[in-house]
Each structure stands twice: as structure tokens, then as C-alpha cells.
Structure 1
């Protein structure tokens, strides 16, 4: 219905947060998840995976890190059911945080 759309969450120009709008939202309990907030992962969130695997958008590496830096925190069964385009968006957000501030500023906003 017109006029009943929910506002898209924003990260008020916070370089440590990226809000991803899912192409294919999913149901979690009573709530439809349409947006995922990705926070800059700290070193602890990256444990158990390699940076090169993340940079190559390796599915296993992305699935290991995402639950540690997303809101709502994604669980394994949700990650397994994500649309591939959404997984790429989320993985790209994580890998973008691995770049230096200078390199991130050179990237176009997508």
C-alpha cells in the first residue's frame, strides 16, 4: 500500500557500518528480514579463516565471518538459504572493510 513503506535503515555516515538491502528477504519467526547491517569485523571475528579466502569471496569463509559481524546475527541455516546475490552483497561489504581507509574512499559507492 502506498504510504505504508518502512524507512530503510541508515548508517549515518559511519565508515564502520554498511546496511545491505536484500534482493530476497527471508522470514525469521514473525519478522521479515529485508535489511542486514554489516559491522566492520575486528580481528577476533576473522579468526578461523584466511583473509585471502575472504577477499576471493569464498563461501565458507564468508559464512564463518558473517554471523560475527551482522545485525541481526545470521545463523547457519539462514546463510545456507540466502540468495547468491545477497551473499555476494554481504561478502563484498565485509571485504570492503579489509581495505585501508584511503583505498575505500577511492571505491565508488554501490
Structure 2
């Protein structure tokens, strides 16, 4: 889950700590930054697919907005819980402020 303390001063960049670190070559990735996508980065995708956390849609979008950049192969190797965390951040970025304000927080 996103550690709220690791949010950057701008809420357009968030850090997700992976439950299961990802090995990419000689590097072990234990956290991934996700930035808010610009409209152009949503090209070829539907908002419906993203809102349903569709695997193919997230597999296309995440390489465009993750630091370090996760490839489609890296995404395929993610633990399902980590994939859901990244998808949850994407969902949060796409919600309008009014919708966030209207939803109860837990």
C-alpha cells in the first residue's frame, strides 16, 4: 500500500512499496514511483478498462508512468498484490477531486 509519508510534495507522484521485490537484472526493485498520467499517455486505452483495473490496459499504461520504468515483462512478473497496489494508484489519479471529496474515508 502507498505510504502516505512517501508522497512527494506534489500528489502527482507516489511511491508504492512492493510486497514482493522485483528482480530486474542485477537490481532488486522494492519500491516503484507512479506518476499521474497526462491525457496523451492514456492514448489507446479506455477509461472503462482502467477503472476496472483491466490487466491489458494497466500493462500498457504502467510502463509510461512508472519510475523505474517497468516493462510489460516486469509487470507480468509482479506479485498480484503489488499489481493491485499500482492499479489502485492509477485509479486514484483518475478520480476527479469532487468524487474523492464525496467518498467517505476509512
Q: TM-score, normalised by structure 2?
A: 0.85
Cα separation, partners in 2 of 1:46 and 1:35, compared to 1, 3 Å: same
Aligned match of 1:53: 49
Which one has the largest radius of gyration?
Answer: 1
Matches of 1:14 and 1:107, distance apart in 2: 23
Count of aligned residue pairs for this structure pair: 101
2:51 is the alignment partner of 1:37 = no
Higher helix share goes to which structure? 2
Q: RMSD in angstroms over aligned alpha carbons?
A: 1.8
Matches of 2:17 and 2:70, distance apart in 1: 14
2:68 is the alignment partner of 1:84 = no
Structure 2: give runs of 5+ residues left out of the alignment. Answer: none
- Structure 1 residue 17, shift from structure 2 partner: 1.2
2:24 is the alignment partner of 1:28 = yes
Partner SS, residue 94 of structure 2: coil
Q: TM-score, normalised by structure 1?
A: 0.83
